[in-house]
Structure 1
Amino acid sequence: MINVTSLDLGTKVLHVSDDFFANAERMLEESQPVFKDEYDENGHWMDGWETRRRRDSKNDFCIIKLGASSKINSFEVDTAHFKGNYPLAVSIMACCAKNIKDEELTKHPENFEWKELLVQSDLEGDTKHDFKSSCQDEVTHLRMDIFPDGGIARFKAFGTICFDEKLYDKENINVLSMLHGARAVSTNNEFFGELKNILKEKDALNMGDGWETRRRRKPGFDWGIIELAKPAIIDNIMLDTNFFKGNFPDSFSICSAFVEESTDKSIVTQSIFWEELIPSQKLEMDNKHYYDQSVLLHNKPITHIRINIFPDGGVSRLKLFGKFIKDEELKDLV
């Protein structure tokens, strides 16, 4: 599952009842919350969303617009560093409002069907809470209520991005984008940076925003397996080693396969027998590398890839440009 409320996906806070002490969007950051002994004009600086103390019978809330339509399985509500100022409880609702103007939803939320994903649940201070979602329907917006006020350091909703059928009509798009439903399945190592980072659309912010393995001290190489949202044909590839200067891989290659049905565990063994999509290519530090069809070894539909880096190191982004293939078109291609 991926964090569908990540700012990297374009998620944003549309409306907030109050964020006097700390901006609500700060709780959507992927980084670990930190504590700073600093003060601004409103009080102590906190890494998260924090409201003022309520003096009425109401409660605070915020409305979040997801970067892409998603199905949510679970939530993580982290009150790290909020000890005397955390909410006593939280609840979460959601609605599916595609192609709706932001102001229409924020001004008249009662016009939309809100489904309960999490009943009002107790919170503790300076604690990471895990909750299950009671509904896995497709949603575009979340409403989080906190009772009655206080601070949330980080909020994450884990699930899957729903495939946008309109993408079938587009060509030369990044079919390996997290925003289009691609996901990291498995890797042998991600000591310094997670494999899923290379699926982000925007350029890396720093070296920690990519995939980086530890220094290899044994024979072999490092690898990562990624699943596309739908079968696709690849036309060209971009691999970026941005920020990786003394720790970029010497070379890389990509294997691919069309897999109709499998489990994440068994796909690792299957990948041993996948055919190459692009043979081993030398890499340079801190550089974007481009490869067109003249380098690719086939143009068959694929559902999975395995990127191999030799022998180890870091990659900031990997993009596979091509076209998603409809089911009825696959019969003649596979």
Structure 2
Amino acid sequence: MSSSRSKSPSKSPVRSDDARPKKRARGEVEADPPAPPPPSSSIAQSGGASTSILSALAAPITGPFKLLLQGKEALQSAFSGPKASGHAPDFTTLTDLSSETFGGEAVFATDEWFACAHNLLSPEDPVWKEGEFTSYGKWMDGWETRRKRIPGHDWCVIRLGLPGTVRGLELSTRFFTGNNVPAASVWAINCPDLEKKLKQVRVAGGAVDKCLGKMGTCASPEAIEAVDALLSSLGVEWVELMPQTRLGPGYAETCKTFFEIPEGKRGQFTHLRLNAYPDGGIARLRVYGEVAPSPSSSLDKEVDLALCTNGGVALAWSDQHYGIPPNMLLPTVAPNMGNGWETARKKERSAVLVAGPDGTISNFIGDDWALFKLAGRGTVHRIVVDTKHFKGNFPESCKVEGIDRPDLLALDVLTWVESSPPSSLVCLSGAIFSYLLPVSPCYSSPTAVLLL
């Protein structure tokens, strides 16, 4: 197969336990150590929200994500990966382009005997079902192939639900402790009509993907050879995003492998080929990156500039104790509080709250904030802040600020500039955030629609 593979990775993969930011319910007992708290965000005062379009920078930046106060280098290294075991790379805050939530799908697999390839793309963490067996063997939450007894290795082809620029990969072998894939590689290609061509391939038994998604099956040697030949003759070069890399067994401490894509390989892609050397199980594949913006078919239609499927990205935030701000950019309605963003209550909060002249609480200590990059430049007509499910823990108020600086992440960050309340503004190399929505009360309602 044609490939621009290199002999060795330019960055070593980093394994972690359950380091990816995850949703946590109150009172939940965790078998593994909880992930360390990361970045920061702004729906003023601690609380939760399911959806927002842009958030204000309303508080001093503290904690491990002092990105906005550490200058140009800190911002440019925001996606440089983990520095120590137990910490997920910063690229995991980006959109999972391969998630089945957005239409990601396995379109071919050489073998799916124990577990099907589509499980790789589930947005949920893998689970273990003690004592559950199928007619083919132990039930496993992931993709698991048979012990190989013929030449070659197993592989599958995945369509990204959201074509885009891949910044990093996460491979998890969770619960595959004695049957995990020992090593894997990932190739990528930009070929929107790949599946159309795949459906035209025929072998003696019929379509090459006729057994796709069925446990206890495998592709015939003829089908594997025909698809491999097709993938090698598409007229578009495959790019090796991750060279052959060792994967750890599926214990909590060793199951995750993160790999940052080198700068020179961050092109726009539509499909991936995941190679398993030689066989075994992988629980999840997550492909983090930036969605390729697609021009609107009609410029007179309203477009959600913050939606992750349009290219909106959460860059940094102040707290993620119960959820992460990227959840607010999802296209689906939040099923519960765990699918939104909720921060921890401030330990230093005032003992008695006092209302200010404008009716909002005046003696809160510290606000939470989030910084988002919109899908593109646009005129904001409407802002929606959804507090659904947050009935006793919604934010007291929120404000939204915006800036027209596509080069924001390349700027040197200077300092905070505050004028007389409530007109606090932020100055970044002379770039001023303007109010889109002043400080406004939040309510426990399904959806608050804020008109500008």
TM range (shorter): 0.7 to 0.9
SS of residue paired to 1:184: strand
Deviation at 1:281, TM superposition (A): 3.2
Q: What's 1:182 paired with?
A: 312
Judge which range, 214-223 or 61-70, deviates more. Answer: 214-223
Report the equivalent of 2:440.
281
Which residue, out of 167, 174, 191, partners 2:321?
191
Highest CA radius of gyration, 1 or 2? 2
Query: Which residue in the other structure is 1:266 paired with?
Result: 413
Q: For residue 74 of structure 1, report the CA deviation from its aligned partner.
A: 2.4
Residue 381 (structure 2) aligns with: 235
What CA deviation, in whole Å up to 9, does each residue of 1:161-189 have, x standing for no partner?
Answer: 22223468462011111111111111111
Letter in 2 for 1:14: V
1:137/1:289 CA distance change after superposition, 3 Å:
same
1:130 aligned partner: 258
**Which amino acid is the alignment partner of residue 131 of structure 2?**
E
Aligned partner of 1:34 in structure 2 is 127
Note closer, same or farther for the CA distance 1:63–1:173 as it changes in structure 2 (3 Å cut): same
Asked if 1:252 is matched to 2:398, the reply is yes
Distance change >3 Å, CA 169–CA 104, structure 1 → 2: farther
Could you tell me which runs of 5 or more consecutive residues in structure 1 were left unpaired when the two chains were aligned.
297-334
TM-score by length of 1: 0.79
Q: 1:4: Cα distance to partner?
A: 2.1
Whether the 8 Å contact between 2:188 and 2:241 is mirrored in structure 1 is: yes
- What residue in structure 2 maps to residue 119 of structure 1? 243
Q: Give the counterpart of 2:302 among 172, 197, 200.
A: 172
Shift of 1:274: 2.2
Superposed displacement of residue 266, structure 1: 3.2
Quick one: structure 1 residues 239 and 131, their matched pair in 2 at CA, closer, same or farther if it must change by over 3 Å?
A: same
Match of 1:160 in 2: 290
Q: Deviations over 1:178-203 (max 9, x none)?
A: 11111111111111100111011111
Give the SS at the match of 1:253: strand
Q: Quick one: structure 1 residues 234 and 167, their matched pair in 2 at CA, closer, same or farther if it must change by over 3 Å?
A: farther
Q: Secondary structure at the match of 1:84?
A: coil
The worse-fitting range, judged by mean Cα deviation, of 105-114 and 66-75 is: 105-114
The one-letter amino acid of 1:139's match is F
Distance 1:47 1:170 in 2: 44
For 1:116-171, what per-residue CA distance to the aligned partner results, in whole angstroms no more than 9, with x for missing partners?
Answer: 22222222212211224352111110010102211111212222222223468462
Higher relative contact order (CA 8 A, sep 6+): 2
Amino acid paired to 1:212 = E
Q: 2:117 aligns with which of 20, 24, 27?
A: 24
Measure the CA separation in 2 of the matches of 1:231 and 1:267.
24
Structure 1 residues 223, 60: CA separation in 2 closer, same or farther (over 3 Å shift)? Answer: same
- Provide the residue aligned with 1:299 in structure 2: none
- Cα pair 1:37 1:44 within 8 Å, conserved: no
Larger deviation, residues 34-43 vs 84-93: 34-43
Q: Structure 1 residue 75: deviation in Å?
A: 1.6
Find 1:84's aligned residue among 166, 178, 185. Answer: 178
Q: CA deviation at 1:35?
A: 2.4
Cα gap change, 1:15 to 1:285, in 2 (>3 Å): farther
Q: What is the alpha-carbon distance in structure 2 between the residues aligned to residue 203 and residue 181 of structure 1? A: 18
Secondary structure at the counterpart of residue 413 of structure 2: helix
Q: Which ranges in structure 2 are unaligned for 5 or more consecutive residues? A: 1-90, 202-229, 350-364, 418-424, 427-431
Instruction: Decide whether aligned partners of structure 1 residues 132 and 184 sit closer, same or farther in structure 2, where only a CA change above 3 A counts.
Output: closer
Query: Distance in 2 between the 1:284 and 1:233 partners?
Result: 26
Higher strand share: 1
One-letter code of the match for 2:156? C
Question: By how many angstroms is 1:223 displaced?
Answer: 1.4
Following superposition, the deviation at residue 277 of structure 1 comes to 0.6
Residues 8, 200 of structure 1: 8 Å contact kept: no
Shift of residue 101, structure 1, vs aligned partner? 6.4
CA contact (8 A) 2:397 2:442 kept: yes
Give 1:228 deviation, angstroms.
1.0
What TM-score, normalized by structure 2, do the two folds share?
0.59
Separation in structure 1 between the aligned mates of residue 196 and residue 110 of structure 2, nearest angstrom = 15
Percent pairwise identity: 29
Match of 2:107 among 14, 21, 35: 14
What does the per-residue CA deviation read over 1:77-118, in whole Å, with 9 as the maximum and x for residues that have no partner? 1112211111122111111112x2634246443442222222
1:62 alignment partner in structure 2: 156
> How many correspondences in the alignment?
292
The answer (yes or no) to whether the contact 1:9–1:178 under 8 Å persists in 2 is no
Question: Does the residue aligned with 1:291 lie in a helix, a strand or coil?
Answer: strand
Give the distance between the partners of 1:53 and 1:258, measured in 2 at CA. Answer: 55
